[in-house]
Structure 1
Amino acid sequence: MEFISANPTGPLHLGHTRWAVLGDAIGRVLAAAGADVTREFYINDRGVQMNHFADSIIAAALGEPKPEDGYAGAYIDDLAKAVEAASPGIFQLEGEERRAAVRAKGYELQLEEQQDQLESFHTHFDVWFSELSLHESGSVPETLARLKELGHVYEQDGALWMRTTDFGDDKDRVLIKSDGELTYFASDTAYYLDKRARGFEHCIYLLGADHHGYVGRLRAMAACVGDDPDRTLDVMIGQLVKILRDGQELKLSKRAGTIVTLNELAEEIGVDALRYSLARYPADSPLTLDVAEITKASNDNPVYYVQYAHARTCAMIRNATDLGMVLPDLETGFDPGLLAHERDGELLRALAEYPRVVASAAELREPHRIARYLEDTASVFNKWYDTKECRMLPQGDEPVGAANLARLVLVVATQTVIANGLDLLGVSAPERM
């Protein structure tokens, strides 16, 4: 799975945040369904934008105006200070030597910040894959040679093209421009082949709303190198997210200037509320979230509702422990026939649906199915909890009976399912609220 794959030239922002949640959740759901999943962040660390990045840091350090096509925002000033602190005297170098040194150190520090941001946001990557490494290893020339052998490239107007229209693309794609510069598509093709060479049978791409045109070209690219895209490729396109506060859309950042950063969102909304709210809708649905709605502590807020149900099971188990109730052996001491009330049956059926929901969410790449299932199950559990005939704890001087222990099993099962489901969304399962 490849997702986010932001340029290492600035902080992660709102657009990245939705993919940080959905990509991570899809990976978790696939793994829960039995897949061997590797999550990769493709680092766009090659190209002219890296020079613009370095030049922007240098200008900030020297108190000069931002260069044309450069990067702005307080984070550039912060980076300039951090680069100087990490490499004293670096800005006293001259010309290309200074640019190369600042580019390398600025890249290192900005990438490290992105990695820290994502880990604190409960989004884990197994591989951070450098685009530059494809060129340094010779993978790109090897890819071009393979395409020539397969007969899917041609030269025209001084450029080298891939004949992707043979496989349904709306136009052929340039691999090498007339000035000899390699295109991003050449790197994309080499990266796909690298993943296939590492043994991955299926490659999932999560792309932003402005990447609809990539679906056809990526599928055609896979076909050009001899693969069946229906079997090896899955391209998902996500829609935009708007965050409202007091009826106004959040657009500006204190640190980045023109974007709302992931860190700022997580600090204002909270990791759990933000992750759950982004995970409970399909990726292809445009989304508007209100800060007040997704952070309020009431049953109208889905994340609070589900987490509170989990906390309630924990409180019930603590109370049972205080009364000396011990979970019976499920093979010898548990009689499911004692769970005879209608509400018992409803809760049992809800819990039994969990494996099917996970399998479906994995197959369809739709983690929102987990969130909606948790909300439904929490509702069933709360109705069960409110039913006097389904009390788990004995009343007054009543001794602990087999029916009480049977319902203790039901509560522990509910606790387990809700905690597991929240974990698939990267959301915590608090024991007290």
Structure 2
Amino acid sequence: MEFELNNIDTDTRDHNIMEKEDEFLHTYFNQVSQLCYEKAKEHVEKAKEPKGVATPWNTFLHHLQQLIIAEKSYIEIGFLQNKHKSFLRKDNSLRSVYETMRNDFKKLEDNSKPAVGDNRVHRGCINIIQFLNARISLIEIYEKIYGMTSNKHFQYNEIASHIESVIQTHLEGFSDISMTPIKAVFCLEGEILEKLFKALSELQKLQFLSSLTLIHAAHTRLIAWENKIQPREVWKLGIFKNNPVPALFQWIQKLKSAVLSKFSLYFHDILAKQTTSSDMKYLCSKLQQDYYQKMIAFLKKYDASSVILMSDNEVNCDITDYESFPIIVSYPPRNIPRHNMVLKMVYETSHELTSGDKIIYKFSSQEQSTCILTTVEPNIYLVIVFESKKTEKDTFINNFIVDLCTNLNCTKILSSLKSPSK
């Protein structure tokens, strides 16, 4: 009976200790997920055992301090910066730092198995290793996203599928209650990226409702993430004026705004039917890019006849029915001078348009008009018509086209991962 009572006392004591350590790690990861890195550092310092004592727990706490430094770099988009790798110098990229930490936690896990060591450390290491694997997977995603910028036409669906796979792979990982705060932020970040790239993929297919739903889903998750970074009251009061929203969060916000701006152009005609022209103009002016007004400004400044964004759906030289003309958006709206000539030009240059990154000038001597064509996306073309002869030497026209296409493809946003600006 005495033996049984002793066992009960031991189990109760171990349970209390475990609760204490769960609480310690929960507080730690809550502070890290809220970007309160100094508080997390102080929290770890207080938990250290007497100096000079080399225990698994102290080693564990030392690794947690290293994790704070890595997470601080990660949220400021440090994962694509300062890569130095040469014969005399090892790779010190942030990805390499996380991989080194993973190895350190793995060694500590092996040395602190319940049978021979510290169970609290062993359990903590297992969960943190799973988190580090998830973090490395997200870094790989950002590397792929940046790598997309070397191609003219992006396969957004491939990135979206990869992100979805990463989320599913790590969904069951680091599920300990102490990891709940950092798990929540990981899921939000992954889901926001997934929704935005799925939205870009749906925009390529000109799917209105699914694009809108995905953008809204990304927006609500961004708000949830911002609330987890700091309470909204803190941002409103401006207490953290020297601690602005971190670079990674800003970048994702900009990406969402770019996707929304693109949506507003591709479905301008549909949206315009839902409100007055003045309200539509006002709402678009609040966007990151008001593409429609840019089209109007260009047309008026350079005396173009029309600026058209069109799909290649059913494009062929036999179409003569105006209503069948596959216009996405245009200015003047749905009033295309020489629309048969435009359609013929698109058909004749379709191979050139799909085979490379080109701006094609086509002059019709019969119509005395110039058609300038380029590919925005694999199935979407930008067409500008002038009632005069224009040549490839016109840099103002070329600059407008390059700028419009680059922004619609989100190239500037994606490439800014390499050198983010506040």
TM-score by length of 2: 0.29
Task: Decide which structure has the larger Cα Rg and report it.
Answer: 2
**Larger RCO: 1 or 2 (CA < 8 Å, sep 6+):** 1
